[in-house]
A and B are shown apart, each in its own frame.
Chain A
């Protein structure tokens, strides 16, 4: 039981740090509130969709930026999609880079767009790692017979 309590505290502290550091925002909390016994894996499913979608969009962004004549409208459309999906799961820092990226698309600034893509990938893999750690902690608690604490 002590182990469960320790794990629960570790989870709460970890989640709090993600919010305090601006890695996740209230939208993530809203997703968690939608999860219940009838759909116990909702958050993991949504976040997995986000991972899949984002990695597809990174491929598209890379391809588009590789072209001789860059289609900035196409570039912007992809970044807009990524902005929407990152905002839907509360990945605040990814969303912010998308906003910056869109400004550079509008300005047709290739160099800054390339930098933004790199920054976007960094922020994405950072939040991906954090979320995977969060889900691992939740799984450990469940396997130890505990319940996930609600913040």
Chain B
């Protein structure tokens, strides 16, 4: 192992690890951890820095938000010096000319009413399923789309997800909602094409987590990523895995590097996690262990119970929630300063926290209590049961959005989005983006925005700008972007009608009667205009945070899948009948029935001959 102390060989070694997916994991982990003893931070060049941290924030209802963040940097040049940046991803980016890439895997529902604003202002979360968007450098739209196809196909292989199903019908080119977050030179910027695709139906699962973790330098073997276990992650109420790759430069536009941020956010139900520990088989809790509200008068003596919430904070520890403690520290991370590897806890100082030996608390800002990980060994954190609960109030998001279908039947329907601005002082401006499949045909002339409670639509007051690209059957989906404004403390209803298409029977999925998933609407909150009533340009305002509605399930009318032959035969019969009858009448001659010779004239002649013969014989006798 002493051979590895020189840097070039270490690089080589790490490259091999990154590439060798099939390498036995045990040996990889031992190699990395033994390498950690030799590779000191001073040896790592500054542009290849890496850091990871975990932030834990208790949420109402005994939930816990765990935000993992891993940031690594790679060089922008096209050489092979990857070091910590995953080479597999870099090759994909190079081949597809993607200059900035965002991939999101999301599952579950973020309950904004309870949880408040999403972590990282919604920047790292996507809509239900998989969402990808990228800025691809290309000369024209056609080339951009070809490169986008290369990108999605490669990512599909990389992440074991059905990203290759993002074809032209699921791709849109948003104009208002997204802006590049990295630094791009003006020359590049003019050649960048933004493409966006989503797969709302994709079930995000362990097979997506494993390749996600493989991109990390420590591969979930040491450091905080050891907490990421599929069983726990996908048991969460809401979870999102995101990868954001962008070029980052310093203020002068120099020293550019490729930054990759991997984030995992999850909302864990503490009670459910602990219950799993106590009894792996879910069983109803015995009556004497239930917390009941005894004051309810309508509850009788027997087994009924009105459960009580938020009586106290449940006690938990890292190993109870995630199934294991943090093992060691990732050796490549920054060890000093603000960026140091750490676990932060957003609980007030009043709540006691017990740490494992060797870790130390650092205060970076007043809300957070951060702990530096010990160099080696296990790190765990125990929060005992606390009564009364110590909840820090959640920040409400700038906007609450709920989207649902209206109408009934499988022929047509409507979409209604309820947009509520909770702020008492400011109106909120935002961009509302819908990407609909082609078989859902919206009628734009029915688009209307009205204040909740008022029957009169008032589009001019709320809709500032509309960008609409209608769907083309089997070629392109609908792309609708609306810049809207919701006044302070009010609720606006955005509605439109649509018609459902009937598909060819081969175009339905095997479970056709389940319905089709409609991608969540993406809402990008624009930065406030500063001075109230000041002249603010609608264009060029930055999106400061994102939120997404839930996905929708669209029922389409279905044909009878069992009888293509019958239909072909029956319809052909009707057509043949019509053709036959008409041409029969056209080509034949009319004849009086009396003029037609009697049927079987010859036969009767024959019979007569036989009769005559018989008569002759009789006569002879």
Check if A and B associate.
no
